[in-house]
């Protein structure tokens, strides 16, 4: 079942990747304070995630801050080494924090998983974006077409923030 507005982010163990390094944490700890925008991607370095999804949030980071967002978090069902390498290669760590969900436990618990086993990738996050306030989901947007970044892209989420 997919997490819905009004529900609380669970305390699922994850790896938290920031400019300070990699730390063990729970999703509730990372996402539970203030106004957070989390977007989820099928995989670090994958074409749409790398060229379209993450760059939109990087470019709009200051607009999110101006809209009252305390932090932007990107979640990927990759191991923390890959997520860290992706964050560093895109120079994102000064503007975005990352959740490495290597076993897709958080993706499954939130109901935001996508089975890409046929393509050799296993269970991953689908492409989504959430607005979370003090650990409670306020808004969820999901993409329905693989490779598309519209509903979960930075411009759409900035629009959603303006209506909350």
Instruction: Compute the distance between CA of residue 29 and CA of residue 18 in angstroms, rounded to an integer.
Output: 14
Name residue, tokens 């995989």.
Answer: 43
Instruction: Compute the distance between CA of residue 106 and CA of residue 100 in angstroms, rounded to an integer.
Output: 9
Using a 10 angstrom Cβ sphere, with 0-12 exposed, 13-18 middle and 19 or more buried, the burial of residue 139 is middle
Q: Say how many CA atoms lie within 13 Å of 146 toward its Cβ.
A: 10
Tokens of residue 42, six digits: 């099928």
Q: Which sequence positions are flagged as catalytic? A: 49
Q: Which residues contact 51 (CB under 8 A, 6 or more apart)?
A: none
Instruction: Compute the distance between CA of residue 74 and CA of residue 31 in angstroms, rounded to an integer.
Output: 11
């Amino acid at each position: 079942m997919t997490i819905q507005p009004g529900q609380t982010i669970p305390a699922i163990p994850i790896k938290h990747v920031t400019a300070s390094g990699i730390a063990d944490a729970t999703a509730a700890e990372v996402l539970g304070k203030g106004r957070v925008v989390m977007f989820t991607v099928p995989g670090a370095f994958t074409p749409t995630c790398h060229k379209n999804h993450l760059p939109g949030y990087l470019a709009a980071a200051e607009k999110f801050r101006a809209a009252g967002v305390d932090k932007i978090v990107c979640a990927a069902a990759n191991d923390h080494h890959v997520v860290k390498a992706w964050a560093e290669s895109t120079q994102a760590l000064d503007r975005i924090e990352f959740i490495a969900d290597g076993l897709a436990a958080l993706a499954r618990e939130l109901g935001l998983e996508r089975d890409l086993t046929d393509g050799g990738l296993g269970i991953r996050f689908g492409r989504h974006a959430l607005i979370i306030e003090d650990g409670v989901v306020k808004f969820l947007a999901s993409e329905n077409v693989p490779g598309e970044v519209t509903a979960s892209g930075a411009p759409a989420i900035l629009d959603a923030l303006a209506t909350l």
